[in-house]
Structures are given as C-alpha cells and as structure tokens.
Amino acid sequence: MNQQTEVEEEISFDNLSFLRVRPSQTFNPSILENHDAIILEYFGRHNVLEAIKQIRSHNEKLVYITPIFLLIEGGNTEDSIVALADGVIEKLTNLDSAASVTRKIISRI
Amino acid sequence: MKLNSLIIDDDASFRVFLKQLIEKHESLALAGIAENGKQAIELLREKSIDLMFLDVQMPDMSGFEVLDEVKNFDPTQVIITSGSSAHGTKAFDYGITDYLVKPFTEERFEEAVARVKSNTRGTQYTTTLINQVLGKVLFYIHTRDIQDYRPLPLRDAKLGYIYPMLTANLDFGREEKGLDILEMAEQEGFLTSSFIDSFYTCNNCYNSYLFFRETCPKCQSADIESEEQIHHFPCAYVGPVSDFQRSSDPTALECPKCKRTLKHIGVDYDKPSIIFTCNRCDHTFQDPLVKAKCNVCNSDIQVENLLKKNLKAYQLTSLGRDAALGKVIIDLDENEEMEDIINKETFHKLLSKEIERKKEALFESTIASINLENISEIYDSIGNQNSSKLVKEIFELVNNEINRSDEVVFQSMVTIWLLLTEKGVEKATTDIQRIEKRIKELVDDNYDNFSLSLSNTVKPVVTNKTASEHLQELNEVLLERS
C-alpha cells in the first residue's frame, strides 16, 4: 500500500459532515473549515501524530478546535495518541457516538 | 531556537537565492515557499511562521494585501523584499521589521535577520505566543468539558509528556514552555491544579531523555565496577569481596588477614556496604557521583543540578471559562518579573532624576556596582532557569538591605548597579561591603565547594556629568579589572 496516498471521503451522518482522511505528508488541515469533524485513519503513529499537530496548531479556530476521531479497525495503537483524539470509531457504519460528541463540542464553541 | 521562515515571491530565481541564504543561516529554518499571495495566505494559516520574506509586487495580489489578510496571525515578523524603495514608507506603516531592496548583499540580509532576532528576544513575541497558545488551550478544555486536563506520556516529546492542544502549538525546541504557560495560567486564576508526578530535565536544553549512571568522583569516568565490602568480625579486617575469594575456589571466602574461612553472614562476617573502583584512574570509593547525560545536548550533569518539573492535572476556573469564551482578555507576561530585575533603562532614568535633584539641593548621593566575579561557574552548572531564580534571590536580598529611596538593578547576570540616595561615598562603601557579605553568605551557603568572589566600585553622583557618563565610568572600572 502506498503510504503517501491520502484518502479523503466526505461522510454525512445525522446532519453532520465528517471528513475521513488517511493522514499523509500532503495532509492539509485547511479543508476542515467546511466539515464538522474529522475521522483520521490510524495509519502509522507518526502520520497520525503529525496530522493532529497540524490541526491543533492551525491558526483558524474552526480548524484547530475540530473534533478528531480515530478510525481504528484493528492493529496496535498507543494509548496517548488515542487520548489526543475526541474518540475512537471502530466501524464507519456506526457513527452515533462520534456524532454525539461532535454535537456537544459544537454546542460549546 | 530557529525562526520558521517563509519565502513569498513570484520570481523563481530570487526564491532560490533566498532559500540558499535561509538554509545556511544558523538562526533560520525554511518552513515554506509561496509563489504568490494566495499560497502565502494558505501557508500562514497552516503553519506557525516567525518570519516572512515578502515580495511587494506579485501578479495575484500585492504584499500589502497579503499583510491585510494575515494581520491577525501574529507574531510573524516581516521583511519586505522589493525591486525598489518606493513602498518603504507604506511598508513601515505596516510595522514591518526591515525592507530589503533587491538585489541586496548577504551582509544586508544578515543585518535584517539580526533586527528580527533582536525583536524576537523582546517580550512582545513571546508574550503574544503565550497568550495565543493559552487561549487555544482554555478553549479546548472548555469545548471538551474536560474536568482534569492531564499530561499524556509520549516518547517523542521533549519532556516525555504532552498536553493535548498545548504541546501541538509549541515547536519541539520550546515544548518546555508549556509547563510555564500552565503555571502562569494558574497564577492568573484561569486554572487550578492537582499534583500528579514529578520528573527531571536537562538544565541546559530541558530535555528529559537522560542517561543516569554512577561515575568516579575523581575523574568522572563511568567505567567503574562495584563490589560488596566484607567486614570480618574476628580480626576486624574490612575489604572488598575479591580480597576474600580464593583462586582455587571462588565460592569459598577466606580472610586475607587471619586466613580463617568465613562461614555465616551475620555471625562471623557482614557485608556493610558496596565499594567502587574506577577502571580509568584506579580510585576506590564508596559514594559515586551520580550523573545524567542528556541524550540531546550531551551535557553531563550532576543529578543535584537537574531541573525538577512537576506534572499537574489542571481544572478550568470560571475566570478561565470566561477567558476561553473571549469575555476576559488573556494577558500573561512571563518576563515581567525579570524585567524589573534586569532593567538598565529605569535605573538610567532614576539616576538622571537624582542628578537633577542634586542641582536643586545640597546633598550627597552615590552610585555603585557590585561584580559577582565568578558566579558564571554556578550559572553554568545549574542551568538557565535556576540561574534566573538565583538572580531573583540576590535581587531580593539586596533590596532588603537598602533604603526604600535607593534603587538596585542587575546590569547583567553578573553585575549589580545601586543608586544610594542622600548618602556619601564613605557611608555608601560601608553599606556596599555589608551587602557584599550578605550575597557571599547566600551563595556560599547554598553551593558546596564554591566561594563567591566579589568586587565593587563606588562613585559619587555629580551634577556635571550625565547619567550615561556615570554608568560608563562604572563599566570602565569593571573592564579595567577584567
């Protein structure tokens, strides 16, 4: 699998817009301004850490405060990296919990 | 610390030229290159840029339009690069740091960067960054409704721990600032805290990736071996276990002094301690020097001089919540305290006033300097943070020793200036000697095997000299001595 490939997919769920991304070196967090939350595939600890850093260090409030969910479908994960996100998604078919967290965060912005 | 730099120019050959200058400059790091204004705005929104080299005339938008778009993205400093000086006045109205007319020399480039560095060292840059980062952190805690904002262990982090949102906004070289920001936020009432743990960092670069080992107190080598020491009760012989081992049977122990076989530990012999031998200098000793080698800057530090940091969990206060929502302005200033201590400008002003006052009335005043001649040796061993603490302690001590109308500042980390009002040289000299004695006691009592050397200069304040001339005289005496 090519690690530089960045999968971007917009998922609409319960009137919320999630952007699913496989983090890579070309990841540009500015695209998050038009989405309610981001789902990052847990695809290599370095890529995930770097993507989270890019989002949280962004200058735009709507970008740096974006809820981040990690899509973890198996494999090894690191607790501290998981704790940096707002939640974990195991299956894209079940976004109820992520939607609830996202709504809560949006309501407090 | 390198300054993240951004090149914004539509001229490809100039971009290459500037890229080479930045890459070979020890204080700069190239963070991005933009060929037009649109790309520049995008990069400035994404990245934390300290310095931009901005072309004024670009096809899609002017440099000034770029500045209008990103005016909220402080603390970026701007060096304008332009083919003509025509926009100079307007550029400086925008608060730029420097204006380079193309083509320019490497020396002129150096000069502009030096100006940027000089601004960066000031409080504005740091203060703005700290306030911005804290604003983000408070907002993050609020939106997540976090009850306990806790550090997370992470091996890639400079301190070995990160705080969500906070650490992401600090370059690796500045990550330790995060703890200071949280502490300042607590002092200002934005957060409360509860203790979690403590850890140690390098006193030079603040990294927590340290290698601890025992070393020889004589030659500092880590090539040492330890052996249990045996005390043979019947003949009172004390020596390392190897003295008791027979070559024929190393498991049996025989006293080298009385030749008796050792039988029962606690009955005819004991192992009271461990003895170390240095393989480099053959020195034997019981108390090795425990040192920590920093994996990053390679400093080899006695553990007593490492910096202890406390890890805390933080809770948002109602004031912090208001600050998160922008109802309260966040205005932290980390340099405020040291600014009062090392403040030559204020001292200069007060001395000028004293000279004017003396022109109006007949009284004596004195200025003095105390030089802490060898204190740099301590600064080197205790690191920047503890050095600042020591300076503060000395400052407080001196302040307690002088009258309220007198003034004391640190001219530098090693030189103290005093203005003793309405006091002649003779009386002032006695006071200065008393102050020197107190400083020496403070330093010598706190640092083993160190004896502080001091020297002083005492001069009368006279009305036919300016404040600058008085201070220049003090400095000249110091220079002559050194």
pTM score above 0.80:
no
Instruction: Tell me the pLDDT tens digit for each residue of B460-469.
Output: 999 988 888 8
Residue B144, pLDDT score: 96
The residue length of chain B stands at: 482
- d(Cα A61, Cα B139) in Å, to the nearest integer? 10
Optimal mutation site among B162, B175, B177, B325, interface A, most CBs of chain A within 10 A: B162
- Please tell me the least confidently modeled range out of A80-84, B92-96, B453-457: B92-96
Residue B306 has pLDDT above 50, yes or no: yes
Average pLDDT over residues B187-196: 94
Q: What are phi and psi of B327, to 5 degrees?
A: -80, -20
* CB within 8 Å: B45 and A58: yes
The full set of domain ranges for chain A reads 8-95
Sheet with B269-278, strands from edge to edge, namely B237-240, B224-232, B269-278, B284-285
Q: Say which residue the tokens 């320019």 belong to.
A: B104
In 3D space, the residue among A47, A63, A89, A4 whose CA is nearest the CA of residue B156 turns out to be: A47
Closest-CA distance of chain B to residue A65, Å: 7
CA angle at B261 for the pair B256 and B264, rounded to the nearest 5°? 120
Residue A4, pLDDT score: 45
CATH class of B3-121: alpha beta
Optimal mutation site among B136, B142, B145, B177, interface A, most CBs of chain A within 10 A: B136
Would you say the C-alpha torsion B216, B220, B221, B222 has a positive or negative sign?
positive
Sheet with B300-302, strands from edge to edge, namely B210-215, B289-294, B300-302
Q: What residue spans in chain B does CATH classification 3.40.50.2300 cover?
A: 3-121
* CB within 8 Å: A30 and B42: yes
Contact indicator for A56, A90 with CB cutoff of 8 Å: no
Q: What number is the ipTM of this complex?
A: 0.94
Sheet with B366-372, strands from edge to edge, namely B407-410, B415-420, B366-372, B454-460
Angle between helix axes B123-144 and B177-187 (nearest 10 degrees) is 70
Residue A39 has pLDDT above 50, yes or no: yes
Closest residue in chain B to residue A102, using alpha carbons only: B144
Residue A5, pLDDT score: 47
Task: Return the top range by mean pLDDT from A48-57, B404-413, B472-481.
Answer: A48-57
CATH number of B338-481: 3.30.70.270
* CB within 8 Å: B164 and A28: no
Strand partners, B460: B366
Contact indicator for A45, A81 with CB cutoff of 8 Å: yes
Residue A19, pLDDT score: 94
User: Chain A, 14-53: which have a CB under 8 Å from a chain B CB?
Assistant: 28-30, 49, 52-53
- The architecture CATH gives domain B126-206+307-324: Orthogonal Bundle (1.10)
Instruction: Tell me the pLDDT tens digit for each residue of A74-98.
Output: 878 899 999 999 999 999 998 999 9
Residue B124, pLDDT score: 47
Residue B265, pLDDT score: 93
Residue B50, pLDDT score: 83
Looking at CATH, the fold of the domain delimited by A8-95 is given as Rossmann fold (3.40.50)
Residue A85, pLDDT score: 96
- Option in B45, B143, B168 nearest A108 (CB): B143
Average pLDDT over residues B25-51: 85
Residue A38, pLDDT score: 96
The amino acid occupying position B348 is H
Which residues in chain A are closer than 8 Å to B169, comparing Cβ atoms? 56-57
- d(Cα B375, Cα B415) in Å, to the nearest integer? 10
Task: Please write down the HEC assignment for all residues of chain A.
Answer: CCCCCCCEEEEEECCEEEEEECCCCCCCHHHHHHCCEEEEECCCHHHHHHHHHHHHCCCCHHHHCCCEEEECCCCCCCHHHHHHCCEEECCCCCCHHHHHHHHHHHHCC
* CB within 8 Å: B165 and A64: yes
- d(Cα B131, Cα B230) in Å, to the nearest integer? 61
Provide the mean pLDDT of chain B. Answer: 87
